[in-house]
Each structure stands twice: as structure tokens, then as C-alpha cells.
Amino acid sequence: MKRVQPLQAMSFPLEASRRYDRLARFFHWAVFLLVAAAYAAIELKGFFPKGAPTRSLAMSVHEWAGMLVLVLAAPRLLWRLVRGAPAPEPGPRWMHWAGEAMHWVLYAFILAQPVLGLLTVNAGGHLLTLPVLGIDLPAVVGTDPGLKDLLKEIHETIGTAFYLVIGLHAMAALFHHYMLGDNTLRRIWR
């Protein structure tokens, strides 16, 4: 395996068969930004006093960044199933297996977490309203306070756990790039 210097490596594109296609790269980084926005908004919400308009704005940003994650995650997964992924970079079998397993866990997360959030809102007796247009999305489940508490608990636990999972995924990418000097990060970068 040819070792390349990380900064030098990022400056020229990898040949097409060795990297994710343009749409897969777009999906990856758009979903990343939206997930980061959903996390930032829910953390910010905690700083605003109850009843403040900024608090409900932060909640709306959380909900809509999260819903957009779902809107992108579904076609993204379909695209992945249709197009597959480029052949892995050279490396031990356990590393390929661990990377692959991590990716499917992340796919499950970007699909399940927004659905759990939406169900929590609906079970709490609220509808999601499209910003600007003011159109209510139909409820997926009816009002049920017990179910709402359960779903909220699951949504929050997964949300907290995935700080760690996403952190590990990002650290693995940086480890490949800076320590192993392979093309793993470049495959999805551009």
C-alpha cells in the first residue's frame, strides 16, 4: 500500500472506482450537517428559559433538522443498496468488518432517531407544522401520555449514546487518514 501525506493526499481527487460517487458524498455530508444542527439546537434549547420564543425556535430547528435527516436518509439508504460502496482500502479483515458494522448502525440511527422523535411529538398530542407554509403534518400515532414518555426516553437515550458512536466513527476516519495514511477519508470527502 502506497503511503501518502494526508494534506498532500487531500489536494488531488481519487479515481472514481475507489471513492463514493457524488450523490453518496452529498448525502453523507448533508446528513452530517443536519444531525449536527439537530444536536446543537436541542443543546441550545436548554439554555433558554421555559416559555421564551427562542426556546420554541430551538425546538423547531431541532425537529426540522431531524425531519430533514429522515427525508435524506431514506433515498440515501436506497442509493447505497442500489450502488453499493467502493471496494475497501487494503487492511485487515476485522477492520473492514468493524467499519461495515458501524456504517449499518449509523444508517439505522439516521432512520430510526427522527421517526422516534416524530412519534414522541405525536404521542404527546402535538402535530408537526411545516415552517412558513403553516401546514400540519398528519399524526402518525394518537395521543398517549404513557407511550410518549416511553418514546421520549428511548429517543433521548439513543441521542445521548450516539454522541459516542458518531465520535468513534469520526475518530476512526481521522485515524485512517492521519495515522494509517490510507484513502478512507478521501473516498467520501470529494
CB of residue 11 to ligand HEM, shortest distance in Å: 17
The residues with which 129 forms a beta bridge, in sequence order, are 136
Q: Does 156 bind ligand HEM (CB under 6 A)?
A: yes
**What is the size of the binding site for ligand HEM (CB under 6 A)?**
40
CB of residue 88 to ligand HEM, shortest distance in Å: 6
Is the CB of 28 or the CB of 181 nearer to ligand HEM?
Answer: 28
CB of residue 175 to ligand HEM, shortest distance in Å: 10
User: 44 CB contacts (<8 Å, ≥6 apart)?
Assistant: 58
Rounded Cα gap, residues 32 and 93, in angstroms: 27
> In a 10 Å sphere around its CB, with 0-12 CB exposed, 13-18 middle and 19+ buried, how is residue 130 labelled?
exposed
- Select from 5-13, 37-45, 49-57, 138-146 the region that touches ligand HEM (CB under 6 A): 37-45
Residue with cell 439554555: 47
Q: What is the DSSP string of 91-105?
A: --HHHHHHHHHHHHH
Cα distances from 147 to residues 116, 121, 126, in angstroms, run 11, 11, 13
**Inter-residue contact 102 to 169 (CB < 8 Å):** yes
Q: Which of 17, 60, 93, 106 binds ligand HEM (CB under 6 A)?
A: 106
Q: Which of 154, 169, 180, 181 binds ligand HEM (CB under 6 A)?
A: 169
Binding mask 57-86 for ligand HEM (x = CB under 6 A): -----xx--xx-x----------x----x-
Q: Does 28 bind ligand HEM (CB under 6 A)?
A: yes
